[in-house]
Structure 1
Amino acid sequence: MGNIHDIFNLTISKDSMTVSMDKKGEFELQIFDEDTVQNFLDDHKIVYGIDETVVKQLTEASYDMNVFPVVIAKGLPPTHGKNGEIHFIDGHNNVISHEEKQNFRDVYKIPSKKNGEKIAYITKPTLGEVGFNVYGKEVRQIKGKHVKVKAGKHVEFVESDATYYARADGQLSVNDKFIHVYPTYEVAGDLSLKTGNIDFVGSITIRGSVPAGYTVKAAGDIHIHGLVEAAYIEAGGSIYISEGIAGLKKGKVIAGQDVKVGYINQATVEAGQDLIVQNSIIHSHCVAQQNITCQNGNIIGGIYSAGKLITAKDIGNKMYTKTELSLGVNSKLREKEKALHKQKKDLLSNKNKLQQLGDSLKLKEKTSSGISSKERIILLKQRRAMEQTEAQLEEIENELSELQVSIGNLEEMKLLVKGIMYPNVDVSFGKYKKSITKEYKFTQVYMDDHEITIQSL
């Protein structure tokens, strides 16, 4: 048997993870026992990952010398650990899907979270496992890295469930280092097609104006530093508009609490508490559950309802423009109530007619002659019509029961006019109404012993 060192050489990869065995030249077929092959590898200090199949082939008479070079040993590569990952519950992008778009002004959505809501959770990194090279030495693995994103403003990270929680209602903001929840969303200038409509879980500040056709909704407050045109503004809290509302008969502003504004012109405004106007209100429809106050201006034209107090410099004008003031009653809901009562009356009349028709046909059905096939069809239609009418009546009754037409307490209500109250002004306290037919100066109007009383301030 020849010397195995003279016949073969070994090539070890730079990373010491692979050993290739190759013949040095042409020679006659020779057989080596396993000990000889093992000693050959030992001489090169190869102890790990030896391919026993290759070793055995060298001990057999039938092995093919043409298969060389052949890999005779392989190390075990380390299993590197996986990095920790952050998983957002509902995503945090601002792209609006086609299904979510309602009009072309719906450009993007504000990623928002409510107080206590889960934002994201993390999966911890894994350690991985060490490997071994062909010399039997450990090859260290790379351990997975921890998520480095920290809980920022109004966000808490809870270790027990590795979850980020919002600690305020607001806008979700995520970067490489922090997760924040900002209670206020800010627009630097006017609303435009670039910003689109806004619907936000916190408060909103708009440094410019809101043009016609746009919608702004907030669960908190809304601050608008410019003008509101024929737009829709709705807030769960208060609404502050530095300039005014030029509603063009289409603008609508609704607040759960106060509305404070420079002026109102041809708009609908509803305040859950007070409506405070720096200057005048003209040809508008306003409802305040508490007070309507024009601090330095007039109320001219339109319909106004308040639960406690209406205050203005002048009411109406020299042109005797029709102006309606209601205390203790939401005049808008009162009109709806009247319409519902009319619908109810018409439906009851219709139901009575249907009842008579049905009774007549049922009576005839019991006679010997019976009813014709045509009359039978009429009876079926009558039953369906009765069911529909009864369903409509039930719906109207539900609406009527939910309407809160009355607001405030009549005894606490008052109209204060610091200047002139002109003719063609209607003043209502609940069901009591008085039409003004002459000018009154520096006047207060209130209820006294079930009568509307006008008295000087």
Structure 2
Amino acid sequence: MTGIGTLEEKNWWSKNCKVFLEEAGLFGVIILESVPPEGLTLSLDGLQDFLRSAGIQHGIDLVLCQQIVMSPESYLKERLRIAKGKEPVAGEDARIEIYLDQDGERKPKVLENGRVDYHDVGAVRLATKGQLLASRIPPTAGQEGLAVTGQTIPGRPGRDYRLPQGRKTAVEQDGCALIAEVDGHVVYTPMDNKINIFDEYVVQKDVDFSVGNIEFIGSVRVLGNVQPGFKIKADGDVEIQGYVDAALIEAGGNVTIRGGIQGRNKGVIRAGGNLQTPFIQSAVVDVGGSCRVGESIMHSQVSAGAKIVMEGRKAVIVGGTVRAGEEILTRVLGSPMATPTEVEVGVHPHLRNEMTSIHESLKELHKNLDKTQKAIALLENMAGMGGDLPPDKAALLQKLRITFEHYKVEEEELMFRLSEIELVMQDIKSARVNVFDTVHSGVKVMISSYVYHVRDSFSRVSFVIKDAEVRAIPL
């Protein structure tokens, strides 16, 4: 076999091979559409020259090139990655560190008989003026990659997050520290990502006809019980030393009910933060953070944005529907009588509702932006045609420009919050239901949109997502 020359080889490569780029230029791909004719010898230099003429300048796989020229028939019609660039590296996301004891994360003392002593857990957190409440570690820039063409591939910068600034708190000038502006009761509400400082209102007895319903912009502490039909609404935390009987409790922050919740199918508890209580029976509970219960959740509708944790040694969830954004942990799930019981994780109901609200707000905002922009354009066109605008029209134009900028800032805030919510809702890998003793038949387990019906009892089992279905795996 004799070589025909580099010009012949060059022509053959250009007519019989195709070169593509993949993944934004990170990979170069070659396809041989035919084998060279008898008498034409392919060379490593010839293939490299062809690749460079096709734009492949960096990361050429010389070993694969040599194999191709030695045995082209072995690679006919194959899609071969002939070159690889340098992958870009994404920057690290910003981190928010919160320097508060979170009531929902405290573990009260478990007594020898299995009951939980909630008198060992304090509910009131005090902050002093100038105290550091949270800090922000800024995101880092991404590292550039290199395409096979020699061009740079930008690295994605880390996502930024805002400090949870709320009432009577201030962000320092560098944007990395949140401090208390006054002395007071500090409350962190995960639902709207804010740290607020409130005053406290104390009720020395039961909430009954002698006290009436309570609405307070700060936090409320009740040293007695809350009797049927009464309401407590507070922007901060609510702490009740006794029980709640068929009443309504709403708190922007955390709720602690030391005597338990007897709903009688009328009681409703809502909290922007966390809930702690010994038991929940026949009630509706909706919290933005975590829900920690000592003994039982029975025949109730319970929803938590983060976790539902049953802490007693005989803790049980039976009847009703229990939902959590992240995980549910309990000793017993269901009952030997196969009582219908539903548990669901990976749903983030509050975030889903907030996302819907944001989309509606953005829709209306974009309408207003469009109207304002058209009005500005009309007035600017009038000014361009006839010189100065009349005073009333000039004032209107200035007002419209200010309104337009206000709308743009509002749009940016909504889009930022939307991206925060989407990031949280995308991750269901860690969603699980852990049962440390027994799960009975009659239980329905849902993780996101996947469903598992318990037909037979299990002991010590964890329900997780695996291979696009709910699996029961041993603990």
* Alignment TM-score, normalising by the size of structure 1: 0.43
* Alignment TM-score, normalising by the size of structure 2: 0.42
Larger-gyration structure (1/2): 1
